[in-house]
Structure 1
Amino acid sequence: MGGSVAVLLVGAVLATGCEPVEATGGTGASPVPRVTTAPTTPTAPVAPSSPSPSRSSDDKPAAPAPTRTSPAAPAPSPSARVLMKVGSEGARVRELQARLRQTKHFARNPTGYYGTLTAQAVEAFQRGLGIEATGRTDTVTWQRLLAATRTPTASELDPPTELPVAAPDPRCLKGRVLCVSKESRTLAWMIDGRVVSVMDVRFGSEYTPTREGVFSVYWKSRHHVSTLYGSAMPYAMFFSGGQAVHYSADFAARGYGGASHGCVNVRDEKKISALYEQVKNGDKVVIYH
């Protein structure tokens, strides 16, 4: 009997899985009026003479009329080449985000991925400088940012999560728990109230929401592939039907521009690899908002 139940349970899971989904931007000059004066009668004959220069009322030579010129547009700097743009990633992007955070233009923790939020922060910084707001980080923007900020510390460059970790739900304070906050989009691996590790997570869309409540890990699958969607679900730890905590390459690449079909996606493969080795079947999973 027990063997039959296990086969049915595993079979149900194999028919489920999570797949990343897309989340649901000619005029002419006015004529100059002619000024005329009434003719005057000379009091005495005037001999012809060479024309004399006009005089002002105080008998000083009249100043020539000023000539208006439009300011020349600044020529583009030949050194303004693009260093980073949407799609860039790595240590320099992480430093860019940390420095933009210092200037109050970037409200998240650095991720090392140049997405739309980073581009918007760069645009805002460029507008503040009065330079062309492209959202791309060129050499001029980068040098101005370096001058306006200090060198970020190691903790500023590599914080554990994009958003600050939420205060744990009271149900997470006892035992071995995967404590998942939808509000801060973080997962904290806790043992008897102590946080062992934390990582960024994302969830299902409004049509395929991630379930909330208290669950437990009932099956682990290191190289799992969804039979519904054909997508890879490495380091899968199933907690409710076909919903699992697992690594998502799509999340790592696109960030929060997408969503899962209900699973809890983790984008840091190194962190979830270590977590997978520590979590055991029967460990608690608490998902709350």
Structure 2
Amino acid sequence: MGRSAIAVGAVAVLVLTAGCKAVAVDTDGKPGGADAGAGRPTHPATSAPSAPPDAASAPPASSAAPAAPAVPPRTLMRAGDRSGQVRELQARLRQIAWFHENPTGTYGAHTVGAVKGFQAKRGLPATGDTDTVTWRRLLAMTREPTRYERYAGGGIPAAAPDKRCLTGRVLCIAKSSRTLTWMIDGRAVSTMDVRFGSQYTPTREGAFTVYWKSRHHVSTLYDTAMPYAMFFSGGQAVHYSSDFAATGYAGASHGCVNVRDEKKIASLFAQVRNGDRVVIYK
């Protein structure tokens, strides 16, 4: 074999050897290490800008947004306020024995004291004002008050009058709102709180007429005073009740329609005549 053939063979061996050389791989999957770039053309190195001396020790920049400042509690109700929400507040406090009066819807001294006690018991600032934190805590501990709880002392707005109450002279008595409205030709003259018989002695429902009035009546059956009695169905009558005035809805009648306000029923008694209608409905 001539020298030229030997030289060609040597070159071929060198090319094959270089093509099979292992290439080191960095952990990121790119060629690297001391042998990276072997068998590739070289170029003049370009120098990267050097990092500041303290770059390695500087903490990484945080990408998290700054925390929002806490929202201070907002006052919802305070002394002197009058509203339906105040009435609800009082009814809820009454459920857990912090408020011992009947709800009135007026934020007075009793309400301030009840709220202070409730707040102090739970480690809240005892300001007596109902703020958002106090209100949320109270909501979590109580249930939605019923209409009767909100108006435990009476004063429920009168229900819409039955259609039978819209003509003539009528004692329009709604059990749902516990009210008696004296109506003449569809116009409400006066409204008063009433209570009814218990489940064992229920007050009858329907349309009746006043057939007898007795100013100083006393029940012979129960030996009970029934002032300003206006009888409409057997022994059942509309009359003033001192027990109702004293104890409210904690009690019940024996079927009569009890009126709490003596002045109002005295005025009503003077206006009602025998033959005027009485309508009692749900």
Q: Is the 8 A contact 2:166 2:185 kept in 1?
A: yes
Distance apart, 1:229 and its partner CA: 1.1
Classify 1:194/1:117 alpha carbon distance in 2 versus 1 (closer, same or farther; 3 Å): same
Distance apart, 1:272 and its partner CA: 0.3
Q: Is the 8 A contact 1:105 1:124 kept in 2?
A: no
Q: Is the 8 A contact 1:101 1:107 kept in 2?
A: no
The aligned residue for residue 179 of structure 2 is 186
Matches within 5 A, 1:212-227: 212-227=205-220
Classify 1:213/1:270 alpha carbon distance in 2 versus 1 (closer, same or farther; 3 Å): same
Distance apart, 1:118 and its partner CA: 4.6
The aligned residue for residue 128 of structure 2 is 144
The aligned residue for residue 233 of structure 2 is 240
Distance apart, 1:104 and its partner CA: 3.2
Classify 1:122/1:226 alpha carbon distance in 2 versus 1 (closer, same or farther; 3 Å): same
The aligned residue for residue 261 of structure 2 is 268
Aligned-partner SS, 2:120: coil
**Distance in 2 separating the partners of 1:177 and 1:270:** 19
Q: Which runs of 5+ in 2 are unaligned?
A: 1-78, 93-98, 105-109, 132-153
The aligned residue for residue 130 of structure 1 is 119
Is 1:284 the counterpart of 2:277? The answer is yes
2:160 to 152, 162, 167: 167
Classify 1:126/1:197 alpha carbon distance in 2 versus 1 (closer, same or farther; 3 Å): same
Q: Percent identity among equivalent residues?
A: 62
CA RMSD of aligned residues (A): 3.7
Classify 1:233/1:284 alpha carbon distance in 2 versus 1 (closer, same or farther; 3 Å): same
Aligned-partner SS, 2:245: helix
- Relative to the length of structure 1, the TM-score reads 0.51
Q: Is the 8 A contact 1:100 1:106 kept in 2?
A: no
Q: Is the 8 A contact 1:188 1:199 kept in 2?
A: yes
Higher relative contact order by CA 8 Å / sep ≥ 6: 1 or 2? 1
Classify 1:117/1:97 alpha carbon distance in 2 versus 1 (closer, same or farther; 3 Å): farther
Is 1:250 the counterpart of 2:243? The answer is yes
The aligned residue for residue 72 of structure 1 is none
Aligned-partner SS, 1:131: helix
Q: Which runs of 5+ in 1 are unaligned?
A: 1-94, 109-113, 134-140, 148-160
Aligned-partner SS, 1:168: coil
Classify 1:103/1:194 alpha carbon distance in 2 versus 1 (closer, same or farther; 3 Å): closer
1:102 to 66, 86, 103: 86
Aligned-partner SS, 2:128: helix
Classify 1:205/1:223 alpha carbon distance in 2 versus 1 (closer, same or farther; 3 Å): same
Aligned-partner SS, 1:130: helix
Q: Is the 8 A contact 1:216 1:283 kept in 2?
A: yes
1:121-174 Cα shifts (integer Å, max 9, x gaps):
9599537851359xxxxxxx9x83699xxxxxxxxxxxxx61011000000000
The aligned residue for residue 7 of structure 1 is none
Matches within 5 A, 1:113-128: 117-118=102-103, 126=115
1:26-50 Cα shifts (integer Å, max 9, x gaps):
xxxxxxxxxxxxxxxxxxxxxxxxx
Q: Is the 8 A contact 1:180 1:187 kept in 2?
A: yes
